[in-house]
Amino acid sequence: MNGGPSGFHNAPITKAIVIATALFTLPFGIHGRSLMLGLSYQDIYEKLRIWRFVSSVFAFSSTPELIFGLSLLYYFRVFERQIGSNKYLVFIVFSVIVSLLFEILTLGYLKDPSLGRLASGSYGLIFASFVPFFFDIPVSSRFRIFGVHSSDKSFIYLAGLQLLFSSWKQSLIPGMCGILAGFLYHLNTFGIRRLKFPDGATSLFSQLRWPFLSNSSQALPGGRPIGNIPSYQVRQAEGYPLPNPVTVPELSETSLATLVSMGFDNNSAREALMQARNDINVATNILLEAQTR
């Protein structure tokens, strides 16, 4: 599974998270402070250190954890494309805050000096993402390896297990806290799944320019990012460029496979592509609008 088109196309929030994680991790590793990043009981209940909350969310404490963490964050950009950047940003904020609260409560309950520091990094967001990955992303292919039934989702689960048990209890606790946060989001606690950030908040990420990465997020006239493209009718009314109204291009199987990999039904995705004249961005918004009705 590749999570759809390569790169960060239509995933500006994911791009910002991946870059922030790398930038937070590398300086600590260079100065040999990576083992001092995670939260501990003393940091919270004896001597409060605010900066550790930030480092524990973004900075991984080892290179292998960083590699697996960034790979999973990059793959889970499929959810930003599926629900839109506005709602995905709500998912990130909710997952990070709730998983962090669970970590604090767990440390206070255990009061175990031998536990040391919890593993640092984006465990809350990554393992919260495994919940919608399990429920909302369908299996597209099945196969057998040495007689064991597997699917294309198995490799993502294996990468998650490697990260979950990378530091045993130190990584298991933040990982489980992230899964609990993901379930609370999935259960629509406090109606969280209906919330979304305004367009201005998410378009800011689309406008960021990274000198070492090509900017894959594009914008329509008027500054509206592609990730928030309106429906075909709205584009026509607002004067946005439309596909050729006379010649309808042949349905792209690649675009259809991309929509299916995002969790949409094959028939619905095909109809949306036909309605959008093979424009995958417009088709995505047609499908999302249909889900919210």
Going residue by residue through the chain (293 aa), what tens digit of pLDDT does each one get? 556 667 888 789 999 999 999 888 887 665 555 557 788 888 887 777 777 788 888 889 888 899 999 999 999 998 898 888 999 999 999 999 999 999 999 999 988 877 888 999 999 999 999 999 999 887 777 888 888 888 889 999 999 999 999 988 999 999 999 999 999 999 999 999 999 998 888 778 877 766 555 444 444 333 344 444 444 444 444 444 544 444 555 777 778 877 777 777 788 888 888 888 887 777 877 877 776 55
Around Cβ 270, how many Cβ atoms within 10 Å? Answer: 18
Please give the structure tokens belonging to residue 292.
């919210």
Asked if residue 64 lies in contact with residue 166, where contact means CB atoms within 8 angstroms, the answer is: yes
Same domain, 112 and 180: yes
Residues 96 and 190 in one domain: yes
Domain shared by 46 and 190, yes or no: yes
* Residue 126 shares a structural domain with residue 25: yes
Task: Compute the C-alpha angle 67/143/268, nearest 5°.
Answer: 85
Q: 63, 35 in Cβ contact below 8 A?
A: no
- If asked whether residues 49 and 161 sit together in one domain, one would say yes
What is the domain count for the chain? Answer: 2
In a domain, 220, yes or no: no
In a domain, 210, yes or no: no
With a CB cutoff of 8 Å and minimum separation 6, the contacts of 258 are 4, 5, 280
Do residues 34 and 59 make contact, with C-beta atoms less than 8 angstroms apart?
A: yes
Residue 200 in domain: no
Question: CA separation (Å) from 46 to 50, 52, 111?
Answer: 12, 13, 11
Sign of the alpha-carbon dihedral angle for 180, 205, 8, 24? negative
Pair (186, 237) in one structural domain: no
Q: Can you tell me the distance from the alpha carbon of 261 to that of 292, in angstroms, rounded to the nearest whole number?
A: 19
State the residue range of the domain holding 251: 229-292
At residue 69, the pLDDT reads 95
237 lies in the same domain as 178? no
| pLDDT number for residue 225 | 43
Which of these three, 194, 216, 250, is where a domain ends? 194
Question: How many Å apart are CA 16 and CA 182, to the nearest integer?
Answer: 21
Residues 126 and 261 in one domain: no
**Based on the domain organization, do 281 and 186 belong to the same domain?**
no
CATH of the domain at 119: 1.20.1540.10
Residue 112 domain flag:
yes
Instruction: Please give the full DSSP string across 35-51, using - where no structure is assigned.
Output: GG-S--HIIIIIS--HH
Q: What is the per-residue pLDDT for 4?
A: 62
Q: Are residues 51 and 189 in the same domain?
A: yes
Predicted local distance difference test score (pLDDT) of residue 174: 96
293, with CB counted inside 10 A (0-12, 13-18, 19+), is exposed
* DSSP three-state, residue 173: helix
Quick one: 18 and 162 in the same domain? yes
Determine, yes or no, domain membership for 116.
Answer: yes
Residue 100, domain member (yes or no) = yes
Confirm whether 216 is domain-assigned. Answer: no
User: CATH code at 284?
Assistant: 1.10.8
Claim: this prediction has a pTM higher than 0.75: no
State the first-to-last Cα distance of the chain, in angstroms, to the nearest integer.
29
Q: Is the residue at 52 inside a domain?
A: yes
Structure tokens at 187: 């259960």
**148, 266: one domain:** no
What's the pLDDT at 228?
A: 43
Separation of alpha carbons 60 and 4, rounded Å: 26
CA distances from 37 to 11, 64, 210 (A): 28, 16, 26
Q: Give the residue from 144, 176, 194 where a domain finishes.
A: 194
